[in-house]
Amino acid sequence: MKVRVGYGYDVHQLAEGEEFWLGGIKVPHTHGAVGHSDADVLIHVICDALLGAANMRDIGFHFSDQDPKYKGIDSKILLRDVLKLIREEGYEVGNIDSTICLQQPKVNPHIPAMKECLSEVMTIPIEDISIKATTTEKLGFVGKLEGVSAHATVLIQKG
């Protein structure tokens, strides 16, 4: 069996009046992430980690922010497409470990719904998805409520 590990990191600016999509669900908040797609930072890092593990470049390579067909796209569609790409190469997801860095709103109450949504989108068991959340203790762009960042590590396996 071939086992590979991938890592993803992403950042999005927060702006008042934008919808806030995180882990495939809409999180109620006064501010939301800004991006070409729906700016779901958690799904974006998972996509990047999966693509990296399979040595298939990154999310921007496959879904350019210069392409108008991806303007406002639901990131769950991108995640399904990434899974199709890695599965065509014979890989399956082993597990995902992720961390969302966000000062406000509190993420912990939304984690069960995020895990359920991602499990359905990726067709993997919910117990194979770990989502953690942290603040940056009011330091940096996250602490100053200017943005959100996320990290993900994934394990994929073949045969």
Percent of the chain having pLDDT more than 90? 95
| Least-confidence region, from 7-16, 64-73, 81-90, 131-140 | 64-73
Annotated binding site for a divalent metal cation: 10, 12, 44
Residue 115: how many CB atoms within 10 A of its CB? 19
Instruction: Enter the tokens of residue 80.
Output: 């399904």
User: Is residue 159 pLDDT above 90, yes or no?
Assistant: no
Give the model's pLDDT for residue 155.
98
* Domains of the chain and CATH, by start: 2-158 (3.30.1330.50)
pTM exceeds 0.75 for this model: yes
Annotated binding site: 10-12, 36-37, 44, 58-60, 63-67, 134-137, 141, 144
pLDDT digits (tens, 9 = 90+) for 39-48: 999 999 999 9
Q: What residue type is assigned to position 104 of the chain?
A: Q
Distance, CA of 46 to CA of 51 (rounded, Å): 9
pLDDT digits (tens, 9 = 90+) for 20-60: 999 999 999 999 999 999 999 999 999 999 999 999 999 99
Distance, CA of 120 to CA of 22 (rounded, Å): 15
The distance from CA 83 to its chain's CA centroid, rounded to whole angstroms, is: 13
* Residues paired with residue 17 on neighbouring β-strands, in sequence order: none
